[in-house]
Chain A
Amino acid sequence: MKRLNKERVSAFLREMNEIQAVLCPCAIGGRDSILMPLAEGSRQEPVGKTTNSAKGALFPQKEDIIAFMGDRILKRMATEKVLVFGIRPCDMMGIHFTDRFMTRGGFRDPHYSARRDNLTLIVVACREPPTESCFCVDAERKPYLDGGFDLQLFDVGDDYIAVPGSRRGESLMANPHFKESPDGDTVELVEFKRKSLESQGAGPGFSKAVERLKGDGPDEAFWESLATRCIDCGSCVYVCPTCTCFNVFDLSSETGFVRYRTWDACLHAGFTRETSGHNPRPTLGSRLARRHEHKLKFDVLNYGEAGCVGCGRCSDACPVGLGAIEIIEAINT
């Protein structure tokens, strides 16, 4: 355990930027912030909660899978080392969730895995909820992590208390900007965690909704009625830390052939439409049901863990008030 003075963060990140790309939360206007390269944005302090989740660092909105011309390969997958500073515990839990099926089990996504191996993650625990939409505790998660990160920072005023979670994290703390912890930081951490848990609001009633969905669950009419509000924009999917569905496209031009993939969204009709034209999820209501049942019911049944980490980003992003919070509330009423 060490301490990092907040005024040293920028200098530390600039040093890190010499040896690897550094991404950090940057304000982009209004209430929005996103992860941006240190050199390109204006770093935001406190780090807040980015509008998008951190998944883009592992699974970019658009990425080339391969590019070639004739028999010459023009581009292979990225192998650059990247350090991400300032993600939140919900982001990290989202990454743990996606790691499960992108890096383990029967299938290993080579692009995700290559990025994952090269990624160092510095998490900033939440002293209090960064936005009013946060409901991680209600979603059976915590506003800090017990493991699985490289480095976790706890905001205790002028300093962060830094706790390593991996060898990479330990080696980061060897940097001279980190100072030895004074006595009593262990107690301070316990206090931080207690207050942090207490500062969370009541939440929409996550576990009740999960139980309802596992049981009889709401009927088709329920979802269709909610769907009259949905405008099929896909924002909830794009900002979600655990949504990793993608589509693959080929693009040819005079300079070569590129196969790339982009984020996709299960709310769009074309996502489930079959070649014959038949669509097993033909209505927006049926697709809305699929999305939320997947996260709140089937992930729980399959993995013992919901596919929603309670970050509330979908509720922030949805222009018609149909994020996870509102869906959970509707299921419960």
Chain B
Amino acid sequence: MAGLAACFGSGAMTNSIAEFEDAEAFLVIGSNTTEQHPLIASKIISAVAQKGARLIVADPREIELAKMATIHLRHRVGTDVALLNGLMHIILKEGLEARAYIRERTENFEQLRSLVEEYPPEKVAEITGVDPLDLEKAAGIYAGHERAMLVYAMGITQHITGTDNVKSCANLALLTGHVGYASTGVNPLRGQNNVQGACDMGALPNVFSGYQSVMDPAIREKFEVHWHVQGMNETPGLTVTEMLDGAETGKIKALYVLGENPVVSDPDAKHAARALRQLDFLVVQDIFMTETARLATVILPASGFAEKTGTFTNTERRVQLSRQAMVPLEGTRPDWEIISDLSGRCGYPMDYHSPVDILHEINQLTPSYGGITYNRIKDSWGLSWPCPDEDHPGTPFLHKDRFARGLGRFEPKEFVPPAEMPDEEYPFVLTTGRIRFHYHTGTMTRRIPLLEREAPEAVLEMNPADARRLRLRNGNMVAVESRRGELRMPVAITTVVPEGVVFSTFHYGENNINELTIAAIDPVSKIPEYKNCAVSIRRL
């Protein structure tokens, strides 16, 4: 998000999902779209299979979309910046850049030109393992179509260079003039149904709702007046990774966790559990018992989505109303009620009577949500922000005529290798991800027998060549060890992963791959490098 905001002025999908159907070319990088965003994938699949759109997949794994791709760039894990710089090098060398667009709508182009000059195909091939010819073809396809969608997800962000990766994606789109129109843009796919909404509402350490900075005195004053308080803190707070570090060192004494399960989802998970145990006071609010809730001093049982009314803001910035369908289970309450009640007991009464009151306040205080009122979304499919007033139709695609920050800014970045490279002791790269049958740490999906039948346990994907070398057959148990821990799981032998790389998922608390992952973080976004750490594998 920080990366896109720096280049464009806004950190969200530039386009709406419906626009995918009319794209002529796609570059899908670091997104296993079929598994993780199947309905967005279905638009890509239909555009490719039925309308002849070209598809470039850039992913170390042979994900399902790769099977129908025009080109599959199978770069090494963590070499995205080099790959993207290499594409830009070719585009400039061949004169495929959008000159008028660069002149009129962007800044800092010369810096980009001189940086990507240093990434000729041969050097890029050396870093990424991608054939220069494939790179040239991909550059030609992406730059050669007017409506080209760049799609990315966690494969781009979950690296120590996550922000650099995002900026490099944005650079590529700016260079080719692929932002600011329908069916072409840069589209980070957000995972959860409402993660966009959580960010929009200021569930970030440095902003109020609508990305209004806590450091801006005028903004602070606006909120102080509305909330009848004084002296709001101007210092940005901590990110999750920093909070857990703080808990371990004793700087943080108490933590209130809502709908998260860091004991399973955080990198170097044993460290996360250890840190949480150091706290004087841990509150966990969730709809089911979780590994994190087991460590809590107090558990606040919340209602599930069907038991409450409210809005979700999805990945395309669309705010949709979700209506209560059933009475909450006894003893549970909607999150907003719990928070309001807690706030009252802490000495600041909140007098919201319903989610409609809260949305009304959002409309008043958040410019981009100004026109997304209850009356407008109650009988519609919702509205996409920015939507500043009640007459505004919402915004399917961003940056038309002008970027949110004015000019689009090239932010050239050098390639930096991942934090922990394989060596003699730990010769494999472990990369982690998800499968379609489970959601995150499985607190919900692993309670559904049919989903559990499809994917009942953690497995380690391994290339047949590596399996032969280790004398492994499909299903054999192995010990996977990193500098942080050791797990035992069966191998699934498949060409989906390249040689030297193994893959597993973090859905299984009882065999938690995050006990192996590294807590190295991106310096800007503080997102951990889940996609790369070094492991050794031993046959059992």
Which residues does A use to contact B, with CB under 8 Å? 228-229, 231-233, 247, 249, 251, 262, 264, 268-270, 277, 319-321
Cβ of B332 < 8 Å from any Cβ of A?
no
A233 to B49 Cα, complex, angstroms: 18
For window 447-473 of B, CB contacts with A under 8 Å fall at 449-450, 453-454
CA–CA, A319 and B38, complex, Å:
9
When the two chains form their complex, are residues A229 and B68 in contact, meaning their CB atoms are under 8 A apart? yes
Interface CB pairs A-B, < 8 A, 12: A228-B45, A228-B67, A229-B49, A231-B34, A231-B38, A231-B41, A231-B42, A247-B450, A320-B42, A320-B46, A320-B49, A321-B46
Residues of A within 8 A of B436 (CB): 232
B475 interfacial contact with A, CB 8 Å: yes
Is B375 in the interface zone, CB < 8 Å from A? Answer: no
Contact B450 A264 (CB under 8 A): yes
Instruction: Output the least CB separation between B353 and chain A (Å).
Output: 27
Q: Which residues from B are CB-within-8-Å of A251?
A: 449
Q: Given the complex of chains A and B, what is the CA–CA distance between A277 and B475 in angstroms?
A: 8
Whether A228 touches B68, Cβ cut-off 8 Å, given contacts A320-B42, A320-B45, is yes
Q: Inside 8 A of B39's CB, which chain A residues have their CB?
A: 319
Q: Are B42 and A269 in contact (CB under 8 A)?
A: no
In the assembled complex, B50 has its CB within 8 A of some CB on chain A: yes
In the complex, what residues of A have CB within 8 A of residue B50's CB? 321
Q: Are B454 and A269 in contact (CB under 8 A)?
A: yes
Given contacts A247-B453, A251-B449, A320-B42, 20 further A-B contacts (CB under 8 A): A228-B64, A229-B45, A229-B46, A229-B49, A229-B68, A231-B34, A231-B45, A247-B450, A249-B449, A249-B450, A262-B449, A264-B450, A268-B450, A268-B454, A269-B454, A277-B475, A319-B38, A319-B46, A320-B46, A320-B49
How far does the alpha carbon of A54 sit from the alpha carbon of B45 in the complex, in Å?
A: 30
Binary flags per residue of B22-55, CB closer than 8 Å to A gives 1, else 0: 0000000000001000110110011001100000
Chain B residues, CB < 8 A from A249? 449-450
Chain B residues, Cβ within 8 Å of A233:
38
B507-533 residues with Cβ-Cβ distance < 8 A to A are none
| A319 proximity list for chain B (CB < 8 A) | 38-39, 42, 46
Q: Which residues of A contact B42 (CB under 8 A)?
A: 231, 319-320
Chain A residue with Cβ nearest B67: A228
Q: Residues of B contacting A229 with CB < 8 Å? A: 45-46, 49, 68
Q: Which residues of B contact A228 (CB under 8 A)?
A: 45, 49, 64, 67-68
Check if B453 sits within 8 Å of A270, measured CB to CB.
yes
Query: Which of B34, B450, B474 lies at the interface centre, i.e. has the most chain A CB atoms within 10 A of its CB?
Result: B450
Secondary structure of the A contact surface, majority rule: loop
Question: Which B60-86 residues have C-beta < 8 A from chain A?
Answer: 64, 67-68
- Nearest CB to that of B39 among chain A residues? A319
Q: Which A residues lie within 8 Å of B41 (CB)?
A: 231
Interface residues of B, CB < 8 Å — how many? 19
Q: Which residues of chain B are within 8 angstroms of A321 by Cβ–Cβ distance? A: 46, 49-50
B454 A270 Cβ-Cβ under 8 A: yes
Number of A-B contacts (CB under 8 A): 45
| B residues in contact with A262, CB < 8 Å | 449-450
Residues of A contacting B45 in the complex (Cβ-Cβ under 8 angstroms): 228-229, 231, 320
Q: How far is the CB of B449 from chain A (nearest CB, A)?
A: 4
Complex formed: what's the CA distance from A270 to B452 in Å?
9
Residues of A near B64 (CB, < 8 A) are 228, 231
How far is the CB of A281 from the nearest CB of chain B, in Å?
A: 14
Shortest Cβ distance from residue B285 to the other chain A in the assembled complex, whole angstroms: 22
Closest to A277 in B: B475
For B475, the closest partner residue in chain A by CB is: A277
**C-alpha gap A249/B452 in the complex (Å):** 11
Min Cβ gap A103→B in Å is: 26
5 cross-chain pairs, A with B, having the tightest CB-CB distances, nearest first? A319-B42, A249-B449, A270-B453, A270-B454, A228-B67
Interchain CA distance A319-B43 in the complex, whole Å: 8
- Whole-angstrom distance between the alpha carbons of A233 and B351 in the complex? 43
| Chain B residue at minimum C-beta to C-beta distance from A276 | B475
Q: Tell me, in angstroms, the Cα distance from A53 to B42 when the chains sit together.
A: 23
* Nearest A-chain residue to B379, judged by Cβ: A29
Least Cβ–Cβ distance between A31 and chain B, in angstroms = 13
CB distance from A86 to the nearest CB of B (A): 24
> A320–B64 Cα gap in the complex (Å)?
14
A314 to chain B, nearest CB (A): 14
Q: Which parts of B413-444 form the interface with A (CB within 8 Å)?
A: 436
> Which of B436, B453, B475 is the most central at the interface, judged by chain A CB atoms within 10 Å of its CB?
B453
B492 to nearest A CB, angstroms? 10
B467-495 interface with A by 8 A CB criterion? 474-475
Report the separation of the CA atoms of residues A268 and B452 in the bound assembly, to the nearest whole angstrom: 12
Bound Cα distance from A212 to B125, whole angstroms: 48
The docked-state distance in angstroms from the alpha carbon of A277 to that of B449 is 17
What CA separation (Å) do A229 and B436 show in the bound complex?
15
Please indicate which of the listed interface residues A233, A249, A319 has the most CB atoms of chain B within 10 Å of its own CB: A319
In the bound complex, CA of A229 to CA of B44 (Å): 10
**Would you give the shortest CB distance from A72 to chain B, in whole angstroms?**
23
* A247, closest chain B residue (CB): B450
Q: Which residues of B contact A264 (CB under 8 A)?
A: 450
Rounded to whole angstroms, the CA-CA distance of A228 and B64 in the bound complex is 7
**CB-nearest residue of chain A to B455:** A270
B432 CB → nearest A CB, Å:
21
A270 CA to B450 CA, complexed, in Å? 8
Taking CB as reference atom, which chain B residue is nearest A284?
Answer: B64
Q: Min CB distance, B143 to chain A, in Å?
A: 26
In the complex, residue of chain A having the shortest beta-carbon distance to the beta carbon of B68: A228
What residues of chain B lie closer than 8 Å to A268, measured between beta carbons? 450, 454
Please, which residues of chain A bring their CB within 8 A of the CB of B450? 247, 249, 262, 264, 268, 270
Residue of A nearest to B43 (CB): A319
Q: B95-124, CB under 8 A of A: which get 1 and which 0?
A: 000000000000000000000000000000
CA distance A320 to B453 in the complex (A): 25
Looking at the assembled complex, report how far the CB atom of B480 sits from the nearest CB atom of chain A, in whole angstroms.
Answer: 19
Chain A residue at smallest Cβ distance from B42: A319
A277 contact set on B, CB distance < 8 A: 474-475
CB-nearest residue of chain A relative to B456?
A270
Rounded to whole angstroms, the CA-CA distance of A233 and B39 in the bound complex is 10
Bound complex: CA of A264 vs CA of B45, how far in Å? 25
CB A177 to nearest CB in B, in angstroms, measures: 33
